[in-house]
Amino acid sequence: MTILPQYDGAGLRTAVRRELQRGRDFVDETEPDALVTVAVASVSLLAAFVGFLAVSSLTAIPFAVFLVATGYGWIRHQELTARVLTLTTTISTILILGLILVFIFAEAWPTVEYATMTVFGIPIPGLRLFVETRWSPVTPPIRYSLVPMIHGTVLVTIIATAVAAPLGVAAALFLSEIAPRTVRELVKPGVEILAGIPSIVYGFIGFTILSPWASDQFDIVGQGTYLFVGVVVGLMALPTVVSVAEDALNSVPESMKSGSLALGTTDWQTMTSITLPAAFSGVSAAVLLGVGRAIGETMAATVMLRGSPGLTKPLYNVFYGNDTLTSLIAANYGDADGLQLSALFVAGVILFITVLFLSIGSQYIEARMRQKLGGTD
């Protein structure tokens, strides 16, 4: 049974006094000129931030003061200024992320409120978005169901994962354990170059080559299939999976591999029974990051899909493709207003929450792998 630490009033007061004493010591040990410089920089940056939020035309003045104070501090008191700048950037990152969260959730709320359904006399905001299948922002009855787009996103993600996971892990295993150094130095930059190719290029190749071929081979009316969108997105996610999985495989201690080989196992047996199991958490994190890339992909899906929200019949039919959450936003954001625009923000909220949980999950799994291989508790 775990006993949680308890804090009484006296302990809290002691902690506060300790922090106040640290602050006094810092003030006593720091030159007055440095304290004034840091204070001016901090206050001017705060004023610039407030002016930015208030959309004031005078925002540039405190920001200019901040730049001057920072430049002076960097010349005269570089160490203290560097500490303040790093703290400022950290706080700014948290504030920006918080403002983004507040903005997208606030913009999404009107549609969530509009889609309220009553269940057993209890109104549930947004329920209609997930229990109906009609997306009709113009023709009455006005409905903003996101079920068809969630369905399309799930299908594309499953296909992309089926492409990126095995190919990425196999490529990472080859680069980490099999490939000679010369081959590794040639192949790894090539894989990383794939990550730098714009997604619109992948989408254009899929639209001009894969989609017409699929239409001819499978007698599909029109272009755009979840199958080939998933294949293209899977190839786009491949560099992410390869890079992270290779790092995980390289983190396995050499002593574990050498010990296995010393017992008479082959290289393949060592890779499958020692290296992969030991790095399984990191490899899983790589796949999760690849899934996050697949979920958030926009341009390739927008170019290749039809852009007509609806469910395929049957639901597992991947030879037709209508819309995903990302392609819905990209195709409609320019012309949307009112509740339709708010519905697009709801789609963004869903994507944000999904990718956030995948990222947190991958980081947690990777941390567990480091803890396991490092031998710490």
- pLDDT for residue 221: 63
Q: What is the arithmetic mean of pLDDT over 123-148?
A: 86
* Residue type at position 118: T
* Residue type at position 283: V
Nearest partner of 231 among 309, 318, 310, 170, judged by Cα: 318
- pLDDT for residue 377: 44
Distance, CA of 89 to CA of 53 (rounded, Å)? 17
Distance, CA of 286 to CA of 366 (rounded, Å)? 9
Distance, CA of 163 to CA of 147 (rounded, Å)? 24
Right CATH for 146-372 from 3.30.565.10, 3.40.30.10, 1.20.1370.10, 1.10.3720.10: 1.10.3720.10
Burial per residue of 135-154, b for 16 or more beta-carbon CB atoms within 10 angstroms, e otherwise: bebeeeeebbbbbbbbbbbe
- pLDDT bin (cut points 50, 70, 90) of residue 225 is confident
- pLDDT for residue 223: 66
Q: Domain spans of the chain?
A: 9-97, 146-372
Q: What is the pTM of this model?
A: 0.77
* pLDDT tens per residue, range 151-201: 888 888 899 889 988 998 888 888 888 888 888 888 888 888 887 888 888
- pLDDT bin (cut points 50, 70, 90) of residue 82 is confident
* pLDDT tens per residue, range 96-111: 888 888 999 999 999 9
Q: Does the structure show a pLDDT above 70 at 307?
A: yes
- pLDDT for residue 2: 42
- 133: three-class secondary structure by DSSP: coil
Nearest partner of 252 among 272, 276, 273, judged by Cα: 276
Distance, CA of 175 to CA of 187 (rounded, Å)? 8
Q: Does the structure show a pLDDT above 70 at 275?
A: yes
* Residue type at position 70: T
Distance, CA of 117 to CA of 107 (rounded, Å)? 20
Distance, CA of 18 to CA of 24 (rounded, Å)? 10
